[in-house]
Chain A
Amino acid sequence: MTEMAIDVKGLTKRFGSKVAVDHVDIAVPRGQVWGFLGPNGSGKTTTIRMLCGLLTADEGEGVCLGLDFRTQSEAIKRQVGYMTQKFSFWEDLSIRENLEFVARLYGVEGRKARVDGTLKRLGLEKRQDQLAGQLSGGWKQRMALAACLLHDPQLLLLDEPTAGVDPKARRDFWEQIHALSDEGLTVLVSTHYMDEAERCDRIVYILNGKMVAGGTVAEVIEQSRLVTYILEGREARHLIGEFQDQPGVDYAGFFGAALHVSGRDRAALERTIAAYRDRPGLEVREVAPSLEDVFIQLQEKA
């Protein structure tokens, strides 16, 4: 049996009368990269904060790195690297000063060598004396990742680490994540990007605090039992309104220039689509639904 880095059940958090996280189960085997998806306000950040002891769970039990996540959160903190959604390092300190501070707090042995090594690994050497506040988004994220790695954590909790970062920097960031995972690090990363979700071993999708889908990308797509048609061509862009409330259509929306029409009832959807098949200037074909089709459908359905 594979050893679990995170194994919690029934995780629940309420803020007043609002249930932010509602009985979520997460079991991440060591060494895997899990993607945590869901719309804004669905409870991703709250879940991550509960896992690293920043919020007290109202319900739920389980272990994080073999330690009880409710009672041993201080011990868990020492082995977890947590990257906050908003940049949360000291902007009036340089990259190096920030890293040295973090290394001191964790009591890292051989601090200087460790900081040097981490700077090098993330390509921050040349910028080490720049103030963190003057860095662009991509470099800030890189520095934050460096700071999370200094104490050699076993688990990384990354809360939307690539939000607002340019595509190249995102790519580089994910290369780092995969390299770390190859070294045995477990990663739970929340994101809104489908390409990032597809790079995860498994994904968990939560909606209004509830887990509504989970598995590998292929499994999640298959579980959705979604049928998707693409309508392309110059006529396509005027059609979106026509598909709302048509039988068999759960969701219609543009992905780039193509109109995606998805539904779970194949027969009904095909009947609706049939009316558009022979229109001039419109190309209609069925495609395998993408992860984004699935998620938007889940969100529309709720």
Chain B
Amino acid sequence: MFSLRRVGAILIKEFLQMRRDRVTLAMIIGIPLMQLFLFGFAINFNPKSLPTAVSIADPGVYARSIVAAMRNSSYFEIVAETRSPKEARRLLQEGKVLFVLEVPVNFSRDLVRGATPDLLLEVDATDPASSGYAISAFNAIAGTALRDDLKGALKNRAPGAPPFNAITHLLYNPESNTHYSIVPGLLAVILTMTMVLMTCLALTRERERGTYENLLAMPATPLEIMIGKIAPNVLVGIVQSAIVLFMARYIFHVPFLGSLSLLALGVTVFIIANLAVGYTFSTVAQNQLQAMQMTVFFLLPSILLSGFAFPFAGMPGWAQVLGEILPTTHFLRIVRGVLLKANTASEIAGEIYPLLAFILVAGSVALLRFRRTLD
């Protein structure tokens, strides 16, 4: 017979236990709140202030007006000005900017002479979601930017089509194929998820099963225990990456332009970074539920603030700072850069170093948190 009294008995016991575990309770209430504020303010589907370089071979009033109009549109933030198209291309290749505006030699002269010179906007299209709105904005700007500058003899050119050819050049992913950016991004997300999960219970489980005391009574140092627990999972991560990359290549037909060994290096460092975080969680968490909570707390920003789900450049500054801390952010740039942009070792070095620093910090925290006694 179903008995409400018995249900009540279990209910009361559950509440009592819940109340005892204050830390977990606080996390269950606190974490969603933090996430709400964090992501509510950070995520933006219509990214603005995107980093842009201008490469002006022909400085003049027209070029200035166009740049000013782009700035005013609030979609573009001019972070670099150069005279060399080569330098501008380097910035694009390294992912420092998403757009390069190229004003060619003799732009003003040709325009004044009545010809229709080209005005080129080069776009890093690896992540089509980041650039779509800005490209539309650019096309609108191009139509109206020079209206006030066309005076005197040029007045007749003001109405109608602009006196130049606004060309948008999509680099790296000319067809704006979202698979190309999502599938490599999934490698980053899948690795984050599984790797952190693999190690977040590493010590918590020993503690809950009572084997922790035994481990401590034997002569293993915290560093030895940490490396020993992380290393086997590196192998798991590498196998996982190989599977995902194989699928990416042969099922999703993602271009593999860069060096595979370079990618392997990036993958390995990234795997270790995630394992280190998970391990750190396991030194902090008092029980498995807490360890899982921490993992989720790490996982969500890794998906939402890393540039995987939403354009990184479109987030407010503080959110970008947070994003820069996360290993997923850097690995996303590595994997997209190597696969789609054929990034070289020196071009991705700037993303590898933060990962190494992250491993160092997470590892140190884990070692400091590791109690060699049961005090």
Name A's B-contacting residues (CB within 8 A): 49, 52-56, 74, 77-78, 80, 82, 84, 86-91, 102, 105-106
Q: By the criterion CB–CB under 8 Å, are A84 and B373 in contact? A: no
Q: By the criterion CB–CB under 8 Å, are B219 and A88 in contact? A: no
Closest Cβ neighbor of A88 among chain B residues: B214
B373: chain A residues at CB < 8 Å are 53-56
Closest Cβ neighbor of A147 among chain B residues: B214
A105: chain B residues at CB < 8 Å are 218-220
Instruction: Report the minimal beta-carbon distance from A175 to chain B, rounded to whole angstroms.
Output: 24
Residues 349 to 375 of chain B near chain A (Cβ within 8 Å): 373-375
Q: By the criterion CB–CB under 8 Å, are B375 and A91 in contact? A: no
Instruction: Report the minimal beta-carbon distance from B206 to chain A, rounded to whole angstroms.
Output: 9
A52: chain B residues at CB < 8 Å are 217
Q: By the criterion CB–CB under 8 Å, are B211 and A54 in contact? A: no
Q: Is B213 an interface residue (CB 8 A)?
A: yes
Q: By the criterion CB–CB under 8 Å, are B216 and A54 in contact? A: yes
A54: chain B residues at CB < 8 Å are 213, 216-217, 373-374
Instruction: Report the minimal beta-carbon distance from A112 to chain B, rounded to whole angstroms.
Output: 19
A53: chain B residues at CB < 8 Å are 217, 373
B210: chain A residues at CB < 8 Å are 84, 86-88
**Tier of interface size on chain B:** 10 to 19
Q: Is B209 an interface residue (CB 8 A)?
A: yes
A-B contact pairs, 23 of them (CB 8 A): A53-B217, A54-B213, A54-B216, A55-B373, A55-B374, A56-B373, A56-B375, A74-B219, A77-B217, A77-B219, A78-B219, A80-B217, A84-B213, A87-B210, A88-B211, A88-B212, A88-B213, A89-B211, A90-B211, A102-B218, A105-B218, A105-B219, A105-B220
Instruction: Report the minimal beta-carbon distance from A217 to chain B, rounded to whole angstroms.
Output: 30
B218: chain A residues at CB < 8 Å are 77, 102, 105-106
Q: By the criterion CB–CB under 8 Å, are A91 and B217 in contact? A: no
B220: chain A residues at CB < 8 Å are 105
Instruction: Report the minimal beta-carbon distance from A20 to chain B, rounded to whole angstroms.
Output: 12
Among B216, B217, B220, max chain A CB count under 10 A is at B217
Instruction: Report the minimal beta-carbon distance from A157 to chain B, rounded to whole angstroms.
Output: 9
A55: chain B residues at CB < 8 Å are 373-375
A87: chain B residues at CB < 8 Å are 210
Contact for B214 among A56, A78, A84, CB less than 8 A: A84
Closest Cβ neighbor of B218 among chain A residues: A105
Contact for B374 among A49, A78, A89, CB less than 8 A: A49
For the complex, give the distance between the alpha carbons of A105 and B220 in Å. 7
| Seed contacts A77-B219, A84-B217, A105-B218; 10 additional CB < 8 Å A-B pairs | A52-B217, A54-B217, A54-B373, A55-B374, A56-B375, A84-B214, A88-B210, A88-B211, A91-B209, A102-B218
For the complex, give the distance between the alpha carbons of A89 and B219 in Å. 15
Closest Cβ neighbor of B221 among chain A residues: A74
For the complex, give the distance between the alpha carbons of A82 and B374 in Å. 14
For the complex, give the distance between the alpha carbons of A88 and B374 in Å. 14
Q: B207-249 toward A: CB 8 Å interface, digit per residue (1/0)?
A: 0011111101111100000000000000000000000000000
For the complex, give the distance between the alpha carbons of A49 and B211 in Å. 15
Instruction: Report the minimal beta-carbon distance from B216 to chain A, rounded to whole angstroms.
Output: 6
For the complex, give the distance between the alpha carbons of A39 and B214 in Å. 24
For the complex, give the distance between the alpha carbons of A206 and B6 in Å. 43
